[in-house]
Structure 1
């Protein structure tokens, strides 16, 4: 595991993967990008830290980490007694080479219902002074809601990548999450950028093609002054098969895994997450 507790020269980008709608591929995108960065040959790749803020813990399980009784999890940093920099005590090595994780479990479930208003600042405090320079990127996997857990990530992140599937309900949800980002940008985190939109789980049917074009008409194309990434991630069963096997998609063989490997590598390069690529 990379040591997150020593002095640093430069810090990585902090990206929140978000959408208030569930089932759109946030976790798949988080793990796909982590796989692309960690498994990339040569000096373009690097280490990745995943911060799992979803009580379902799918990113945690996806990288082969099982939370045991008494283990510190990301829920620990939201405790009122937690000290600044406490994230360093939570991070563990995953079963994936070059990927560490701040794991989640069901203890997170009650936090969105907490009436404690200052809870949303505790994640930012937990990162205070923590050296993250060993990582290429810090990826925050968030729950499908606009609650305190998502806000806590937005308050400490540099940028947001909205993940959506190409359906009418998911496209509408992009507008709502954009409004949330704008509220955060106005005051508590002025450096936050709405940097991109990733279309996931595309099946190539007429409805999906229509929604992709609709998004591009509304938000423009990434790299051309807009936000919608040119790379569209297809909905292939190999993604779930790799997840069930607790393997990075770039280490999985079978089905149409190669197509997904290419898609996530292209997406990581497009977002500037591979060395030498520009966002």
Structure 2
């Protein structure tokens, strides 16, 4: 059964969409079948992969007009597109019974079809993000290695803990991703040291270096592996994807041992 992973940070510009796209593409490079969900009304993931707006987006699906209708971005990498209309979904769903579980119900038919479903959450902690967390097995937190990016980490952790307690007992923090990292900068190294003290071994060893190729790839409507496979960005996201798979295997093994 496929694992559902949300990428969450309520601060914008931290590399969340870039990470969602390239972790997904990295897992495909490692032989996995991946579905990307663009849950952000800004639709940056949809635009970055050059996905034309299909008749059914995540907005129509969450309104109950249709099931999910993935669009193929490349072999083994499918996308459920977003649209600006999604910005109205929170108001439209506010009086719905079970409004926190809409996304979970939409995923059910696809869990056997994909190895991973990766959700690019909006930069907020509203109903859309709540739906993502309620339907996820893991949440990963991309964090720009700058001082201001650390502000609000306690709030993110608090929200995750509340969702785990009240709505989704299986939810785990899958890891923290240090993005836009430059080892030459003392500030970047200090931030990584600080978040490691706060999150411990949840911080991925692989750091995503600050590289121009990662900024250029969306302009060409490509993931980093299609755009510049020899770049440091491609190497970092491939290593991160390998590290993620290793963590998933360790988690599965740990859960299997608990059941014995």
**Whose helix proportion is higher, 1 or 2?**
2
Give the corresponding residue for 1:103: 81
Give the corresponding residue for 2:173: 194
Q: What's the TM-score once normalised by structure 2's chain length?
A: 0.89
Aligned length: 248
1:154-173 equivalent positions in 2, closer than 5 A:
154-173=133-152
C-alpha distance in structure 2 between counterparts of 1:67 and 1:19, whole Å? 25
Work out whether 1:93 is the aligned partner of 2:72: yes
Q: How many angstroms does 1:273 deviate by? A: 6.8
Give the corresponding residue for 1:78: 62
**How far does the alpha carbon of each residue in 1:35-56 deviate from its partner, in whole angstroms, 9 at most, with x for none?**
2122x2xxx4222100110011
C-alpha distance in structure 2 between counterparts of 1:191 and 1:171, whole Å? 26
Q: Runs of 5+ in structure 1 lacking a partner?
A: 1-10, 222-226
Q: Runs of 5+ in structure 2 lacking a partner?
A: 252-260
Q: Secondary structure at 1:197's aligned position in 2?
A: strand
Q: How many angstroms does 1:19 deviate by? A: 0.5
Give the corresponding residue for 2:187: 207
C-alpha distance in structure 1 between counterparts of 2:142 and 2:133, whole Å? 15
**How far does the alpha carbon of each residue in 1:229-273 deviate from its partner, in whole angstroms, 9 at most, with x for none?**
11110111101111111122112238xx52111100110111117
Give the corresponding residue for 2:241: 268
What is the RMSD of the two structures over their aligned residues, measured on CA atoms? 2.0
1:234 to 180, 190, 209: 209
Q: Secondary structure at 1:231's aligned position in 2?
A: coil
Q: Secondary structure at 1:123's aligned position in 2?
A: helix
Distance 1:22 1:113, change over 3 A: farther
Query: Does structure 2 retain, via aligned residues, the 8 Å contact 1:270–1:278?
Result: no
Distance 1:274 1:262, change over 3 A: farther
Q: How many angstroms does 1:176 deviate by? A: 1.2
Give the corresponding residue for 1:6: none
**How far does the alpha carbon of each residue in 1:43-97 deviate from its partner, in whole angstroms, 9 at most, with x for none?**
x4222100110011111122220115xx110011221x447xx22xx21212x22
Query: Does structure 1 retain, via aligned residues, the 8 Å contact 2:175–2:203?
Result: yes
Q: How many angstroms does 1:16 deviate by? A: 0.2
Distance 1:274 1:168, change over 3 A: closer
